[in-house]
């Protein structure tokens, strides 16, 4: 099977699903933004680099 030019890579996952990596297009913007928000929301809150103010 020939893959579209926009598809960069593909792999079969152990559970049988296929993961594909492709070039994003403008229609993907809302999904990408939601993914970024979810990823950063799951991160713990940390202080500023260097231990804080006054350094």
Which pLDDT score is estimated for 3? 75
Residue 21: name the closest of 36, 4, 34, 33 by CA: 4
Digit-coded pLDDT (tens) for 1-55:
677 788 999 999 999 999 999 999 999 999 999 999 998 888 887 888 776 655 4
Which pLDDT score is estimated for 44? 82
Answer for the pair 22, 6: CB distance below 8 angstroms, yes or no: yes
First to last CA, the chain: 59
Residue 5: name the closest of 23, 17, 18 by CA: 23
pTM equals 0.50
Q: Measured between alpha carbons, how far is 37 from 51 in angstroms, rounded to an integer? A: 25
């Amino acid at each position: 099977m020939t893959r579209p030019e926009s598809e960069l890579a593909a792999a079969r996952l152990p559970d049988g699903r296929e993961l594909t990596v492709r070039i994003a297009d403008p229609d993907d913007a809302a999904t990408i933004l939601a993914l970024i928000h979810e990823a950063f929301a799951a991160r713990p809150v940390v202080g500023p680099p260097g231990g804080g103010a006054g350094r």
